[in-house]
Amino acid sequence: MINDEKLLDGRAVANGIKEKLKSRVSVLKERGITPSLVTILVGNDPSSETYVRMKGNACERVGISSKKIHLAEDTTTEELVKTITNLNEDDSVHGILLQHPVPSQIDERLAFETISIEKDVDGVTSAGYGQTALGFGTYPSCTPAAIMRIMEDYDIQAEGKHAVVIGRSPILGKPVSALLLNQNATVTTCHSRTRNLASHVRQADIVVAAVGRPEFIKGEWIKEGAVVLDAGYNKGNVGDVEYEQAAERASYITPVPGGVGPVTIAMLLNHTVDAAEKTLN
Amino acid sequence: MINDEKLLDGRAVANGIKEKLKSRVSVLKERGITPSLVTILVGNDPSSETYVRMKGNACERVGISSKKIHLAEDTTTEELVKTITNLNEDDSVHGILLQHPVPSQIDERLAFETISIEKDVDGVTSAGYGQTALGFGTYPSCTPAAIMRIMEDYDIQAEGKHAVVIGRSPILGKPVSALLLNQNATVTTCHSRTRNLASHVRQADIVVAAVGRPEFIKGEWIKEGAVVLDAGYNKGNVGDVEYEQAAERASYITPVPGGVGPVTIAMLLNHTVDAAEKTLN
């Protein structure tokens, strides 16, 4: 049995964020502004449809307007770029989210880069990443932001700790490494070409799993007392970390589901409201 | 005595780059284009003046036009930004280098960010950093680019190696960490808040020293056979690594001077010629 005191309860963190958002949204609406997120879905990937629906529902529950644009499977890069450009120019839109993956004929990176940095509430542009990494970014990617928010809410300090991040994707492994580094952790970034992954994980005070492979990180690799943040979400409702075994050794651990996931969505909403508030100035 | 076979000879690498640049510059000039770098120096810091002069002389030796703009010590951020904006708009200028540090009344980051990414041959903008870190950047910062170039010329593979970078500045520690990661090294970034630095360095297959403190990295920390790249250059002509002792253990090591420094300048010239060649398209 896992000690409840160890649990990093993402749902509770997310609810705390959403409660505050509701009152911020009320203030905005009194001033004539409805925060607005537009999500773009290209093609018919069922799990992407689910994600987009979940995000839309979450928006509505805090009073954010959520518009979905559903483009056909055979959309071209040019058409997608045009859609994004129009949204960039639309003052009633505060945030733009392009659900990925997109169909293979599309240049995904070019599409991401088209999103204007002021509306990049999902934190996918290289410009946003560069600002985040250099310490003055506005909207880091939502999952890295969620991980940092969970740590903050549970008063887990990164300073002086050795953080080991497994994964180096542009929206997860790389930016979470950057955020931990900026909070004065010593950061090791591991990935598919890392030799002897176990030896790196065994040294970590903070483990961030961002691989996308079920139970890839073994519980016995976790150092006694380490903090485990599992951003994985794989088929069968399991994370990237062998949960039960890891929980025995960890001082804190995020469950899957109910850990990083709900906070990721809350951060997306938070960024959208931030973007709407900026239009007041 | 240090075995010459271990030496990573930066002067030789730099000379190789510069020889190729001369012929590229000739081709450009035949087509009516003289590659042009403008360096901006603000105030009267003697070592900054020396650096700017060295860069200017290096430009001239390969046929790049080098113009120096020397602004007064009491220049405002606004004045500096205006100077940069004018250079951004001047088609005859291919590269802009703002020598730092700038006097304390100036918002250095804002000034850097003003440089247009097409002319950011020194790799100081956050946008350029973001592109570099996500793997499609054009002009990484020159010292990180130099370190990668030295490794390439000596056929030192990063793939699967454990690289430990000591330093996290925006133009050195962070981008060199990113470049090594993109070449499939497992990367640990250490800094002033790192606990037990020695234990990290002892594990490294590749050590990049980017601290700016003389002989801060002890020779006895270096693992037998490790590659040591010392980007430090401190008073008394010493690097960040205890050279003699490190060289006994390393398989390869950059001397100071004559290691990373000359290649850094060559990369600046290389980026400037790249930028000039882009105007042909």
B192 → chain A, closest CA residue: A184
Based on the residue annotation, tell me whether A122 is a catalytic residue of this protein.
yes
* Cα A199 from Cα B187, distance rounded (Å): 14
pLDDT band at B2 (very low <50, low <70, confident <90, very high): low
A196 → chain B, closest CA residue: B160
* Cα A219 from Cα A58, distance rounded (Å): 33
Instruction: For residues B223-240, give the mean pLDDT.
Output: 96
Domain count, chain B: 2
In a domain, A5, yes or no: no
In a domain, A222, yes or no: yes
Structure tokens at B270: 């290389």
* Cα B226 from Cα B231, distance rounded (Å): 16
Q: Which residues of A touch B177 (CB under 8 A)?
A: 189
Residue A65: give its domain's CATH number: 3.40.50.10860
Is there a single domain that holds both residue B62 and residue B159?
no
Is there a single domain that holds both residue B257 and residue B149?
yes
Identify the pLDDT of residue A2: 61
Across the interface, whether the CB atoms of B133 and A134 are under 8 A apart is answered no
Is there a single domain that holds both residue A149 and residue A254?
yes
Is there a single domain that holds both residue B156 and residue B221?
yes
In a domain, B236, yes or no: yes
Residue B85's domain spans which residues? 32-116
Identify the pLDDT of residue B281: 72
In a domain, A243, yes or no: yes
Across the interface, whether the CB atoms of B126 and A131 are under 8 A apart is answered yes
Is there a single domain that holds both residue B217 and residue B105?
no
In a domain, B20, yes or no: no
In a domain, B131, yes or no: no
Is there a single domain that holds both residue B68 and residue B166?
no
Nearest to B276 by CA among B121, B73, B171: B121
Share of chain B above pLDDT 90, in %: 97
Is there a single domain that holds both residue B239 and residue B149?
yes
In a domain, A16, yes or no: no
Report pLDDT digits (tens) over B245-267. Answer: 999 999 999 999 999 999 999 99
Identify the pLDDT of residue A4: 81
Per the CB < 8 A criterion, the answer to whether A240 and A215 are in contact is yes
| Other residues' Cβ atoms within 10 Å of the Cβ of residue A47 | 10
Computed over every residue of chain A, the mean pLDDT equals 97
Is there a single domain that holds both residue B105 and residue B156?
no
Report pLDDT digits (tens) over B157-205. Answer: 999 999 999 999 999 999 999 999 999 999 999 999 999 999 999 999 9
Based on the residue annotation, tell me whether A55 is a catalytic residue of this protein.
yes
Is there a single domain that holds both residue B92 and residue B190?
no
Strand partners for B163: B187, B206
Residue A163: give its domain's CATH number: 3.40.50.720
Across the interface, whether the CB atoms of A134 and B170 are under 8 A apart is answered yes
Is there a single domain that holds both residue B150 and residue B77?
no
In a domain, A220, yes or no: yes
Report pLDDT digits (tens) over B36-94. Answer: 999 999 999 999 999 999 999 999 999 999 999 999 999 999 999 999 999 999 999 99
Annotated catalytic residue within A99, A120, A161, A174: A99
Is there a single domain that holds both residue A242 and residue A150?
yes
Task: State the complex-level ipTM.
Answer: 0.97
Strand partners for B97: B39
Report pLDDT digits (tens) over A155-170. Answer: 999 999 999 999 999 9
Q: Which residues of B touch A129 (CB under 8 A)?
A: 130, 133-134
Give the closest-approach CA distance of A26 to chain B in angstroms: 34
Nearest to A280 by CA among A7, A25, A110, A10: A25
From residue A27, give the alpha-carbon distance in Å to each of A10, A34, A56.
26, 10, 21
Radius of gyration of chain A measured on its C-alpha atoms? 19
| Residues belonging to chain A | 281
Share of chain B above pLDDT 70, in %: 99
Is there a single domain that holds both residue A166 and residue A256?
yes
- Whether the per-residue pLDDT at A1 is higher than 60: the answer is no
